[in-house]
Structure 1
Amino acid sequence: MPDSDAIRERIWIIGASDGIGAALARAWAGPKVELILSARSKAPLTALAERLGPGHMVLPLDVSDRAQLEAAAEQITADGPLDRIVHLAALYDPGMVADLDPDRAAQIVAVNLTGSFHVAQVAPRLLRPGGQLALCGSVAGYIGLPLGQIYSASKAGVINLAESLRTEWAGQTDVRLISPGFVDTRLTRKNRFAMPALSTPEQAAKAIMAGLDGRRFEIHFPRRFTRALKLLRALPYWASLPLLKRLIT
Structure 2
Amino acid sequence: MEKGLAWVTGASSGIGRGLALALAQEGWRVAISARSTGALAEVAALNPDRIFAFPLDVTDLASVGKVAAQIAEELGEVDLAILNAGTYEPISASDFDPTAFARTLQVNVMGTSNCLGVLLPAMMARKAGHIAVVASVAGYVGLPYASAYGASKAALIHMCQSLRPELERAGIRLNLICPGFVDTPLTKQNDFPMPFLISTEEAVGAIMKGLEGAYFEIAFPWRMVLSMRALSILPSRLRFAITRRMLR
**Structure 1 and Structure 2 fold alike (TM over 0.5):** yes
**Which residue in 2 is equivalent to 1:37?**
32
Report the Cα offset of residue 126 of structure 1. Answer: 4.3
CA distance in 1, matches of 2:185, 2:152: 19
**Which residue in 2 is equivalent to 1:105?**
101
**Which residue in 2 is equivalent to 1:138?**
136
Matched, 1:125 2:121: yes
Deviates more, 1:219-228 or 1:233-242: 233-242
Question: 1:72-111 counterparts in 2 under 5 A?
Answer: 72-78=67-73, 79-111=75-107
Give the counterpart of 2:60 among 53, 65, 83: 65
CA RMSD of aligned residues (A): 1.7
Show CA shifts across 1:183-232 (max 9, x none): 01111000000111111111100000101110111111111111111111
Question: 1:1-249 counterparts in 2 under 5 A?
Answer: 7-30=2-25, 32-78=27-73, 79-127=75-123, 129-172=127-170, 173-248=172-247
SS of 2:19's equivalent in the other structure is helix
TM (norm. structure 2) is 0.93
SS of 1:178's equivalent in the other structure is strand
Report the Cα offset of residue 95 of structure 1. Answer: 3.6
SS of 2:160's equivalent in the other structure is helix
CA distance in 1, matches of 2:147, 2:154: 12
Deviates more, 1:48-57 or 1:203-212: 48-57
Report the Cα offset of residue 21 of structure 1. Answer: 0.6
Q: How many residues align?
A: 244
Contact preservation (8 Å) 1:100, 1:149? no
Contact preservation (8 Å) 1:130, 1:171? no
Identity of paired residues, percent?
38
CA distance in 1, matches of 2:32, 2:133: 16
CA distance in 2, matches of 1:54, 1:246: 50
What are structure 2's unaligned runs of at least 5 residues?
Answer: none
Contact preservation (8 Å) 2:91, 2:97? no
CA distance in 1, matches of 2:211, 2:94: 37
CA distance in 2, matches of 1:16, 1:182: 18
C-alpha distance 130-241 of structure 1, shift in aligned 2 (>3 A): farther
What are structure 1's unaligned runs of at least 5 residues?
Answer: 1-5
Report the Cα offset of residue 64 of structure 1. Answer: 0.8
Report the Cα offset of residue 98 of structure 1. Answer: 4.2
SS of 2:85's equivalent in the other structure is coil
SS of 1:169's equivalent in the other structure is helix
TM (norm. structure 1) is 0.92
SS of 2:168's equivalent in the other structure is coil
